[in-house]
A and B are shown apart, each in its own frame.
Chain A
Amino acid sequence: MDNVTSEVSQTGRFERVYYYLYLMRKNRLLMLGLCIGMILFLTALFAPWIATHPEDAYGSLNMKEKLRPPGADHFMGTDNYGRDIFSRVVIGTRKSLSIGIGIVLIALIIGLPLGLIAGYYGGKIDELLMRTCDGFLSFPQLLLPIVIGGVFGSSMKINMISLAIVWWPWYARLVRSQVLLVREQLYVMAAKSIGVKDRIIIVRHILANSISPVLVQVSLDLGYAILASASLSFIGIGAKPPAAEWGLMISEARPFFLNFWWTTTFPGLAIFVSVFAFNMLGDGLKEVLDPKVR
């Protein structure tokens, strides 16, 4: 239908920015995700001040207060060692957020350049990289971290690295597929015909035009990474008691949770809410950035 659908505007240098801001404000999903995300970050930042019993997060026992239901003193009750669950959940935010960011960052640092190079140059490098990625992607994501964790013993650091190892192929593949699309655009060929150096073409022309889906994926993955690391901790790989880690807290409560519901419900809700927030953020961003979904 000719150019009816292309909304070309003739005025204003910042028109496009305004347009995106407008779409972002209009997108309730994105705004909600953004809000919860902000709250999470603030909570992590000020955790020791928010927590009512900060010392409980670091392994102090208080057997007198054991397994109290939620109440005025303990908003979310106490666990089998009498520790305040609210405080532990709040302080656990730090661990979860930092490990989530860590995983995504490492994965991005490995995956982005590899995807760019493979996509831009193609050929043997591309073939090798893609076969490697296929190999990684055809197995359950948690399998390798479990093997690594099971063999090397558990620690948050190993956890983070092993998850990043299985995570980067997703980025490599995403970036590559984007680069393959952008590479065929005529402006890339135009730049080549002018004699612009490869390095500049990759950064200025290709990266700049293929970054938005990566941003979406990053915000989604922040959530998934938190989920994955919590799952590992739950299995018994990762955080060690008495650390305040959500997955571990649920795991520790397993023997008695049927009678004391609050011991698992609140840490689980914390995981759910944070992953949900990043999901909304990513989904909203996608709607704003990708005209096809809109």
Chain B
Amino acid sequence: MSYLVEVNHLKKYFPLKKGVFSRHKDFVCAVDNVSFGISKGETLGLVGESGCGKTTIGRTIMKLIEPTSGNAFFDSNNLFLLNPKKLREIRKKIALVFQDPYSSLNPRMQVRDIIAEPLTTHTDIKNSQLRDKVLELLSYVGMGKEHMMRYPHQFSGGQLQRISVARALALNPSFMVLDEPTSALDVSVQAQVLNLLADLQETFNLTYLFISHNLSVVEHISHRVAIMYLGRIVEMGPTKNIFANPLHPYAKALLSAVPNPDPDHQQEEVILTGDVPSPVNIPEGCRFHTRCNYKMPICQRIEPDLKEKEPGHEVACHLY
């Protein structure tokens, strides 16, 4: 099977400046050796708690952040080795939608100009053609002419997120990175945006990388899921398998911690002790061993690799 998007051994360390006098440099290990692939038309959900590096992955793929090492392929072009001109070409095919709709749109620009920005940057469309195109894009997301001249502050969060999606669609991308697109929205509006995304995927055969901390949303929209902990993927596989039968102790705890809006839903709760360690001092060995309930001696020394347990279902744990 060939992937549309493939990421190999991606690493991103952020240098941490400590004081004026100390020369010693620490690193925030945001993404540590992550590999995955996404087929065409598929949605890969990337879940994890805050600070686990999921947003960094999305931004590194877009080359908004320089990777420390590793490769990312899009349509068999290595994104990290392309010259700037080629990269601009490729970028048209990849779009990004951000978490916070209130700050991802420039408050001093009209909706018309916001949506037209990708078009004016990459194409020569002008005047009435441009206007028609903007209208068409707005109609995809269920908005119309009356919204074109307004400024972002005149819209609600859900509408703003629709505008962001419309902008992302402007250049007919084939791949979209959705960075927590619904976490700033209310549930009823979230449902609208999720449905919209599903519809668009069907209409344009889009491929999604869906980044979120909300497991219920990820389960709802993704075909496959990757669970991250402290910069690493600890478990990855088809959505159904992962949610029915999580293998990694962290995945188990995470799933059991999701509050289910059903009072009769009785589940055994796995409560983890302590907090996520700082990404500056990652524990030796398996990075989860400090909070793991199934800790073995080997976990303190050797870091487990992702291994295929069932077909397509990989897990990084010494238990398996």
**Which A positions have Cβ atoms within 8 angstroms of B?**
8-11, 13, 15-16, 185-187, 189-197, 200, 204-205, 208-209
Question: B residues 139-156 with Cβ under 8 Å of A?
Answer: 149-151, 153-154
What is the distance, in angstroms, from B110's C-beta to the closest C-beta of chain A?
8
Q: Cβ of B100 and Cβ of A195 under 8 Å apart?
A: no
Using A190-B98, A190-B104, A196-B121 as known contacts, say yes or no to A16 and B153 having CB atoms under 8 A apart.
Answer: yes
Q: Cβ of B96 and Cβ of A190 under 8 Å apart?
A: yes
CB-based A-B contact count at 8 angstroms = 67
Q: Cβ of A205 and Cβ of B106 under 8 Å apart?
A: yes
Query: B100 — nearest CB in chain A belongs to which residue?
Result: A186
What is the distance, in angstroms, from B46's C-beta to the closest C-beta of chain A?
17
Query: A205 — nearest CB in chain B belongs to which residue?
Result: B106
Query: A16 — nearest CB in chain B belongs to which residue?
Result: B151
What is the distance, in angstroms, from A271's C-beta to the closest C-beta of chain B?
37
Q: Which residues of A contact B153 (CB under 8 A)?
A: 8, 16
User: Bound state CA distance, A191 and B103, in angstroms?
Assistant: 12
The answer to whether B108 has its CB under 8 Å from any CB of chain A is: yes
What is the distance, in angstroms, from A275's C-beta to the closest C-beta of chain B?
32
What is the distance, in angstroms, from A64's C-beta to the closest C-beta of chain B?
63
Q: Do most interface residues of chain B lie in helix, strand or loop, or is the interface mixed? A: loop
Q: B288-313 CB contact bits vs A (8 Å, 1 = yes)?
A: 00000000000000000000000000
With an 8 Å Cβ cutoff, the count of chain B residues facing the other chain is 29
Q: Cβ of A186 and Cβ of B103 under 8 Å apart?
A: yes
Question: B residues 45-88 with Cβ under 8 Å of A?
Answer: 59, 62, 64, 88
Cβ contacts A to B, 30 pairs, < 8 Å: A8-B153, A9-B154, A11-B154, A16-B151, A16-B153, A185-B103, A185-B104, A186-B99, A186-B103, A187-B104, A187-B105, A187-B106, A187-B107, A189-B96, A189-B98, A190-B96, A190-B104, A190-B167, A191-B106, A193-B64, A194-B91, A194-B95, A194-B117, A194-B118, A195-B91, A195-B121, A196-B117, A204-B109, A205-B106, A209-B106
Q: B113-156 CB contact bits vs A (8 Å, 1 = yes)?
A: 00001100110000000000000000000000000011101100
A8, A11, A195: most-surrounded residue (chain B CB, <10 A)? A195
Q: Which residues of B contact A11 (CB under 8 A)?
A: 154
Q: Which residues of B contact A193 (CB under 8 A)?
A: 62, 64, 91, 95-96
What is the distance, in angstroms, from A177's C-beta to the closest C-beta of chain B?
17
Q: Cβ of A191 and Cβ of B117 under 8 Å apart?
A: yes
Q: Cβ of B105 and Cβ of A195 under 8 Å apart?
A: no
The answer to whether B318 has its CB under 8 Å from any CB of chain A is: no
Q: Cβ of A195 and Cβ of B92 under 8 Å apart?
A: yes
Query: A10 — nearest CB in chain B belongs to which residue?
Result: B154
User: Bound state CA distance, A187 and B114, in angstroms?
Assistant: 10
Q: Which residues of A contact B122 (CB under 8 A)?
A: 194-195
* Across the A-B interface, the 8 shortest Cβ-Cβ residue pairs: A186-B104, A193-B96, A187-B106, A194-B118, A195-B91, A186-B98, A186-B103, A208-B108
User: Bound state CA distance, A205 and B113, in angstroms?
Assistant: 12
Query: A197 — nearest CB in chain B belongs to which residue?
Result: B121
Query: A12 — nearest CB in chain B belongs to which residue?
Result: B154
Q: Which residues of A contact B118 (CB under 8 A)?
A: 194-195
